[in-house]
A and B are shown apart, each in its own frame.
Chain A
Amino acid sequence: MSEDELRLLERLRRNDRDALAATYDAYSRLAFGLAYRIVGETGEAEDVVQEAFVSLWRQADRLDSSRGSLRSLLLTIVHRRAVDAVRRRSSRPAVLLESLEPLPSGAPDPLEVSSVAEQQRLVQRALTELPVDQRKAVELTYFGGLTIAEMAEQEGIPLGTAKSRLRLALDRMRTSLAGAI
């Protein structure tokens, strides 16, 4: 965790409202982007982001730097809330594979990755490098909010295949992200 984040976390823990505003300024684009990617609609994405920040605020006095970065905690909350919102709908929109731009060559060494932009590039590359079945498994569950049982049904594959596809995908991504994680 960066020193800025640690300081922000410390202030949040003391219920410093300005620290929450600073957290919003730092991460609202990431949070809103993630919420929008999952719920696919501006109004609902706003609600998700608002709920997520309130939730972060409520647990601020229990925040602990050893549990991971402030950014990943916030985005974890956003993800959970967004998936809950999607799962509450009676019918879900079909999940489309994002068309990810091919990456320029000469991607940075993961060990030296620090900026968010570089991390984004790395994870997008790790996704695009997955075999298409595995990538779809990640997209349908993480961004589509499907359970593995639903994913198996939608893809017409046995549940066991769905489980192992997802595991293979995440293990593979982890390998290509090694160093950045």
Chain B
Amino acid sequence: MNDDETEELLAAYAIGALSTVEARQVGAHLSACRRHDEALAGLRATVDFLALAAPEREPPAALRARVLAAIDADAGAQRPAVVQMRPRRWLSAPRPAFAWLAAAVLLLAVVGLGAWNAVLQLSGEDEGTVTARLTGAAGSAELVYLKDQGLAVFEVELADPPPGREYQAWGIDESGAVSLGLLPNSGTVALRGDLSKATAVAISVEPKGGSDEPTTDPVLFATLR
């Protein structure tokens, strides 16, 4: 998505009237381009105010107790959304220690370059692509999933993994985590995989060669919708 297209969709983005795919594409552009910041802030402030145009209404008296009971029930559970959404086998896994952090070297694998061209060519086709930004302490990753080709293209910038370990990407659906393949710590790679049913993607640190199912907590995570 370029500057003009983003600007054209900015009001719809601020008011929440874009499809999920479009919103993600606009969001991706906005995260990298500061030119729209001022306009977006103004639009958002206006949209915030719109909430006050709805007439106030007294909720049923029982709702207060229901809300507080829901809070109490929730307080017992772990709080971050990531914990709630990841598969069961990640719940009890120990959190890997990341005391280390090293400068990563950017390298574009040949297959990555080819796939990236495909992404650029397809960027106008909304329904054919799903994009996501994975965030976490270990670094960042951008995912572009090309539905037609069953290709998950990751652009990653991650800290060096501990000796004897490497990064592995997972698609998460109702049945649990399904491996997409191994990732470099830095660069672009295209992995073959089916994310059509996935509700989230995650990256974890696994023993060299990868695991059949995740053995550590995800270091990066994003929900797909």
Contacts and interface: CB of A to CB of B under 8 A. Distances in A.
A170 B46 contact: yes
Interface string B31-50: 00000000000110111111
A53 B50 contact: no
B50 A142 contact: yes
A147 B49 contact: no
Interface in A52-109: 53-54, 57-58, 61, 68, 72, 75-76, 78-80, 83, 98
A141 B49 contact: no
A165 B4 CA distance: 16
Given A58-B79, A120-B52, A181 B46 contact: yes
Contacts of A123: 49-50, 52-53
A78 B63 CA distance: 15
A88 to B, nearest CB: 12
Given A37-B54, A147-B18, A148-B17, A72 B59 contact: no
Contacts of B50: 123, 127, 138, 142, 173
A9 interface: no
A33 B54 CA distance: 6
Contacts, number: 161
B99 interface: no
Contacts of B102: none
A154 interface: no
A79 B68 CA distance: 20
Interface string B49-84: 111111111111001101110111011000111000
Contacts of B52: 30, 75, 116, 119-120, 123-124
Given A17-B68, A170-B43, A174-B46, A79 B16 contact: yes
Interface in A146-168: 146-149, 151, 160, 163-164, 166-167
A49 B9 contact: no
A8 interface: no
A49 B63 contact: yes
B15 interface: yes
Interface in A2-32: 15, 17, 20-21, 24-25, 28-32
Interface in B68-107: 68, 70-72, 74-75, 79-81
A164 B54 CA distance: 24
B19 interface: yes
Contacts of A170: 11, 14-15, 43, 46-47
A25 to B, nearest CB: 8
B8 interface: yes
B10 A17 contact: no
A75 B52 CA distance: 9
B12 interface: yes
B6 to A, nearest CB: 12
B42 to A, nearest CB: 5
Identify the 8 closest CB pairs spanning chains A and B, nearest first. Answer: A37-B54, A75-B51, A141-B17, A32-B59, A33-B57, A167-B11, A72-B48, A33-B56
6 contacts: A24-B68, A29-B58, A36-B57, A79-B16, A116-B52, A181-B49
